[in-house]
Amino acid sequence: MSWGSWGRAAFLLVAAPWFIAVSLKNPAFPQFFFIHEHFARYLTNEADRVEPWWYFVPLVFLALLPWLGTVWSERRELLDLARRRATDDQAIDYQRTVRLFLLIWCTFALLFFSVSRSKLATYILPIVPPLGVLLAPHIARRASALSQAAWITSALLVLAAAALCLGAFRKLGTVPFSMLLWASIAACAAIVAVSLARSSWASVALGSILGFQALMMAYSNLPPVRTSKQLVAAALPAIGADTPLFSVNQYRQSVAPYLQRTSRMVMYRGELAFGLDQENAGFIPTLEGFIDQWTSLRDAVAFVDPATFDLMRSRGVPMRIVSRDGRSVVISRK
């Protein structure tokens, strides 16, 4: 029995029992997981995550920071790999084969996920490790790469600081958030200074990581906000223990944790379709059906996407605006 056969047997021994147990407990799981999640998600708009074909290109550029200059300067050598012939030197030929394999890996992953009808930023993560290995020799040969990395890291810090200032001006920031972000910026600045003085690769890498984290923290606190914390906080006084909750033509994943409750879905299915079909969750498929139920209630709160809210208002639906942001309007029946 070959090592490959042993490997496949070990894989099945570890993975198969879980899939078998889940399938026995939930008969609809095999079709959902193997067909829907792999084929329907890739070939159709079922997952409601449609993006343009070039969606991953800027993400790859962002992932390559701070080494974009190295990629550009070494582009000819990377593109010539596929055209070079084998040599008598086995060591050189082996290195060339490995680098060509990594280049094919990166190219295939980028093209494969770009063709997909469903796109998320995290899909492109498998391209990052081979890119790092592929670029490492070129980075090591370039004395200017360290300085370039430090300057790009510094630029990230400036952007993070600008985002923080904008958040403060819009009164979206909190004291703990501001302190943490400013601490991150200060740490990055210190790391960049040490990097320039000592030519430390590890310091540049750490500075880049912290710089990205500072940017992400600032982004999460700026409109259009990904979090619904402020939206829910403003809506909570209108929500009682028995108040019916609705999510109309949208699903914001952060609403339920802040509410500590779930909402009845209206119109929107998306990735929730499987669960809605398996359980009697009171799904309302049409706006008319929701309006009929809404007007029959004396106490209810709904999180509505802005376009649907405008449509409801044009129809004279009775409601009171409780809170709103760039992605949702919260309305109350009373």
pLDDT for 85: 54
pLDDT at 72 over 70: no
Same domain, yes or no, for 51 and 132? Answer: yes
Q: ∠ CA 174-180-183 to the nearest 5 degrees? A: 135
Q: What percent of the chain is modeled with pLDDT above 70? A: 63
Q: What value does the mean pLDDT take over residues 303-329?
A: 94
pLDDT for 172: 46
If we measure between CA atoms, which residue out of 149, 173, 148 comes closest to residue 160? 173
pLDDT at 77 over 70: no
Confidence of residue 313 (pLDDT cuts 50, 70, 90): very high
Reduce the DSSP state of residue 301 to 3 states and report it: strand
Same domain, yes or no, for 319 and 268? Answer: yes
pLDDT for 109: 92
Tokens 């095999």 locate to 30
- Which of residues 69 and 111 earns the better pLDDT score? 111
pLDDT for 197: 56
Same domain, yes or no, for 279 and 319? Answer: yes
pLDDT at 247 over 90: yes
Confidence of residue 268 (pLDDT cuts 50, 70, 90): very high
pLDDT for 245: 96
Q: ∠ CA 61-254-275 to the nearest 5 degrees? A: 100
Same domain, yes or no, for 118 and 160? Answer: no
Same domain, yes or no, for 39 and 128? Answer: yes
Confidence of residue 175 (pLDDT cuts 50, 70, 90): low
List of residues 6+ apart from 104 with CB closer than 8 A = none
Same domain, yes or no, for 173 and 185? Answer: yes
* Cβ atoms 140, 67 nearer than 8 A: no
Same domain, yes or no, for 7 and 73? Answer: yes
Domains held by the chain: number = 3
Same domain, yes or no, for 121 and 33? Answer: yes
Q: What percent of the chain is modeled with pLDDT above 90? A: 32
pLDDT at 89 over 60: no
CA torsion, ordered 271, 275, 276, 282, to nearest 10 deg: -130
Alpha helices in 74-222 (DSSP H): 75-80, 90-115, 128-141, 144-169, 175-198, 201-220
**Least confident residue range of 121-125, 219-223, 247-251, 256-260:** 219-223
- pTM score: 0.63
**Least confident residue range of 92-106, 132-146, 205-219:** 205-219
- Which of residues 115 and 207 earns the better pLDDT score? 115
If we measure between CA atoms, which residue out of 121, 124, 127, 148 comes closest to residue 219? 121
Q: What value does the mean pLDDT take over residues 163-183?
A: 54
Where a domain ends, among 140, 173, 190?
140
Same domain, yes or no, for 150 and 198? Answer: yes
Where a domain ends, among 106, 123, 140?
140
Give Cα separations from 123 to 6, 120, 132, 138 (angstroms). Answer: 30, 6, 17, 26
pLDDT for 171: 46
Same domain, yes or no, for 269 and 241? Answer: yes
pLDDT for 114: 94
**Least confident residue range of 38-52, 89-103, 198-212, 236-250:** 198-212
Same domain, yes or no, for 191 and 311? Answer: no
Same domain, yes or no, for 89 and 178? Answer: no
pLDDT for 261: 92
pLDDT for 286: 95
pLDDT at 112 over 90: yes
Where a domain ends, among 220, 242, 260?
220
The range of the structural domain enclosing residue 237 comes to 229-332
List of residues 6+ apart from 323 with CB closer than 8 A = 231, 234, 235, 330
As a whole number of Å, the end-to-end CA separation of the chain is 72
